């Protein structure tokens, strides 16, 4: 995989300052790049590295083009340009387009042309696999499940029965889609299981990270909208709905029947209680616990910032005194009015 800088510029729709005939064979950071590699500057904290980088060329905003010591590929959004350039140098092995002899495919399943099914994968009864899909080694597609066109299931993905996954999705290893939601009724101190008879509907262009779990609905489906991006080790409970093009970083936990709007972002470790609604354009910072619905778009946070343990213990002691202090303030205010 090697391209001239001019070819990359044409692919990205950018302008080259300098020699556009140099050969680019890979990508690297400003600090680590060497000859033949293309780098980028998206965070101004690394601006000083422009002068020391050994990259053959750097993707920069027009304002930084003059600071480059070598050729520059100039675009308005360097980080987006880097993302698109990475597609030219993707090292993911190409699918074979074949069904491995060790794979088990039910006679009642429908498998389109050009589907790759790897070692020990299982396609169960009445499942439907769209054209160009890739089913990784050890992955299971359950009864009546659907996998859309050009969707890739990496190794050891579990897709339960009655789950529908759209086109052009990426599901990473260890993901479980369609496991039972956590539903039980109590009878005299013992738990009675509520059968989870809904499914999961995953839209088009969705990416689901490694070891992420999406529970099936209790009666209706859990819904993941088009273009949603889920990081690793996320828990999506039953009947959650996530709007189109929302994104969640690792470790988020979304309790049952919560509805998250479109174009929302949840940073790492965010927890959202059940039966809430987050409006479109909600952005929640890391480790926040959302305990009530959010009705206005914007950025939301909870918790306290890090401090030394000794300082935190003093603050924690003050937290326990806040209610008593509030009552005393009210009494003082009342006495002043009198």
- Catalytic residues, by residue number, are 238
> CA 299 to CA 310: how far, in whole Å?
30
- Sort residue 72 into left (φ over 0), alpha (ψ -120 to 50) or beta: beta
Q: What CA–CA distances, in Å, run from 298 to 266, 284, 291?
A: 12, 8, 16
- End-to-end distance of the chain based on CA atoms, in angstroms? 82
Element of type H or E holding 72: strand 72-74
| Sign for the pseudo-dihedral over CA of 159, 230, 98, 109 | positive
- The answer to whether residues 163 and 148 touch, using CB atoms and an 8 Å cutoff, is no
Strands (E), 162-237: 163-165, 170-171, 176-179, 184-187, 190-193, 200-202, 207-208, 213-215, 222-224, 229-230, 235-236
CB 95 within 8 A of CB 129: no
Other Cβ atoms closer than 10 A to 324 = 9
DSSP labels for 236-253?
A: E-TT-EE-TT-EE-TT-E
Task: Let me know: does 243 contact 225? Beta carbons within 8 Å.
Answer: yes
d(CA 234, CA 97): 31
Q: Residue 23 in contact with residue 2, Cβ under 8 Å?
A: yes
Cα R_g (the chain), whole angstroms: 26
């Amino acid at each position: 995989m090697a391209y001239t800088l001019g070819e990359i510029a044409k692919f990205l729709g950018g302008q080259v300052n300098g020699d556009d005939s140099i050969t680019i064979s890979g990508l690297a950071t400003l600090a680590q790049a060497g000859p033949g590699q293309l780098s980028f500057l998206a965070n101004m904290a690394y601006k000083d590295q422009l002068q020391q980088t050994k990259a053959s060329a750097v993707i920069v905003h027009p304002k930084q083009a003059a600071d480059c010591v070598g050729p520059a590929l100039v675009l308005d959004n360097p980080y987006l340009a880097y993302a698109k350039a990475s597609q030219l140098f993707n090292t993911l092995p190409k699918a074979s387009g074949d069904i491995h002899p060790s794979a088990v495919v039910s006679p009642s399943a429908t498998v389109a042309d050009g589907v790759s099914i790897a070692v020990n994968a299982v396609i169960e009864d009445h499942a439907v696999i769209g054209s160009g899909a890739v089913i990784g080694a050890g992955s299971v597609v359950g009864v009546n499940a659907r996998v859309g066109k050009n969707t890739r299931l990496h190794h050891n993905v579990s897709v339960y029965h009655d789950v529908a996954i759209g086109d052009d999705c990426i599901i990473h290893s260890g993901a479980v889609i369609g496991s039972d939601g956590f539903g039980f009724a109590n009878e005299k101190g013992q738990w009675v299981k509520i059968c989870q008879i809904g499914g999961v509907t995953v839209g088009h262009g969705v990416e689901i990270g490694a070891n992420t779990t999406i529970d099936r609905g209790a009666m209706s489906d859990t819904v993941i909208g088009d273009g949603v991006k889920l990081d690793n080790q996320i828990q999506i409970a039953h009947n959650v709905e996530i709007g189109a093009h929302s994104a969640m970083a690792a470790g988020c936990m979304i309790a049952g029947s919560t509805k998250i709007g479109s174009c929302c972002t949840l940073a790492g470790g965010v927890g959202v209680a059940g039966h809430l609604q987050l409006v479109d354009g909600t952005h929640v910072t890391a480790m926040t616990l959302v305990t009530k619905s959010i009705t206005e778009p914007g950025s939301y946070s909870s918790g306290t910032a890090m401090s030394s343990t000794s300082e935190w213990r003093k603050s924690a002691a003050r937290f326990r005194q806040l209610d008593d202090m509030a009552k005393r303030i009210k009494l003082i205010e009342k006495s002043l009015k009198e």
